[in-house]
Amino acid sequence: MKKFFKTIAAIALTAVMCAGCSSTVKPNEVFSAADLEGKVIGVQQGTTGDTFVSSEENGVKAKEVSKFKKGTEAITALKQGKVDAVVIDNEPALEFVADNDDLMILDEKLAVEEYAIAVNKDRPELTAAINTALDELEADGTLGELKAFWIEETGGKGYVSPEGIAYPNGTLTMATNATFPPYEFKREGEIVGFDVDMMRAVCDKLGYELKISDMDFNSIIAAVKSGKADVGVAGISVTEDRKANIDFTRSYFDSAAQVIIVRKK
């Protein structure tokens, strides 16, 4: 059933991405990170890829950094020849390349990072409670099953809340950006993915009903900082700049990386 839904999603995504594509797209000239110099690079605005490519300290001397609200928009621009490469997290990159046989991921990794849950600095008790829940979910194998199901696709199963569960502590709002498969994305109008299942399991342990607020990735940290959302969960990498504005829980995925997607030809 999961593969069926992914096939339908792939067909829809490919149709959108191919709009405007033509045979006049120039040949690929990017075969390594060094080749990014003088090129137009597509990124999703506000992501670690955006920060990495835009920072002169990292040595990427791009001609231009084109910033998009969604990763899919950056991929479309790549297919249309409007950008020379896209820098994005490895897991969604794998999804995009699987759905587009004219694209490939270069072997070279630009940055290795870890994902964690963003929490308001004024709520250390919530951070501590989530950490405890994550430790328990790690120990009982739930996180391992979710990783196997959503990320590795080697088995496992999605999360289902126990029957009759109560939520005495009310609602916990999770700010996310549902354009980041396999962590959070829309399937038949519903937001699903690893992060969604993980946070539902966390909330069940803490007595909260999970509410999901979908927004631009660039707005998530501000939403948590202002209190419009209780947590931010969207494959958010831990960085010093972000830690200046919000707190992070313990990491729940520590082998994420920024990679380069290019056209095969």
Tokens of 94: 């794998």
Whether 254 is covered by a domain: the verdict is no
Q: What is the mean pLDDT of the chain?
A: 90
User: Are the beta carbons of 260 and 85 closer than 8 angstroms?
Assistant: yes
In this structure, what token pair is assigned to residue 108? 């070279």
Full residue range of the structural domain in which residue 143 is found: 117-249
pTM value is 0.78
- Looking at the structure, tell me whether residues 76 and 183 fall in a common domain: no
The tens digit of pLDDT for each residue in 75-121 reads 999 999 999 999 998 889 999 999 999 999 999 988 878 999 999 99
Nearest CA-CA partner of 177 in 214, 223, 221, 229 = 214
Q: Is the pLDDT confidence value at 252 over 70?
A: yes
Residue 265 belongs to some domain of the structure: no
For residue 109, what are the contacts with CB-CB under 8 A and spacing of at least 6?
90, 257, 258, 259
**Segment 19-32, tens digit of pLDDT:** 545 458 999 999 99
Residues 211-223, mean pLDDT to the nearest whole number? 97
Q: What is residue 70's three-state secondary structure?
A: coil
Task: Give the pairing of strands 184-187 and 190-192.
Answer: antiparallel
CATH number of the domain within which 9 lies: 3.40.190.10
Residue 237 falls inside a structural domain: yes
Q: What is the pLDDT of residue 23?
A: 57
**CA-CA distance, 122 to 185, in Å (whole number)?**
29
pLDDT band with cut points at 50, 70 and 90 for residue 215: very high
pLDDT for the residue numbered 9: 45
Q: Name the burial class of residue 46, with classes exposed (0-12), middle (13-18) and buried (19+) by CB atoms within 10 angstroms of its CB.
A: buried
Residue at which a domain ends, from 113, 142, 161: 113
Total domain count, the chain: 2
With respect to residue 264, please indicate whether it lies within any of the assigned structural domains. no
The answer as to whether 255 is a domain residue is no
Is the model's pLDDT at 254 over the cut of 90?
no
Picking from 64, 84, 113, the residue at the C-terminal end of a domain is 113
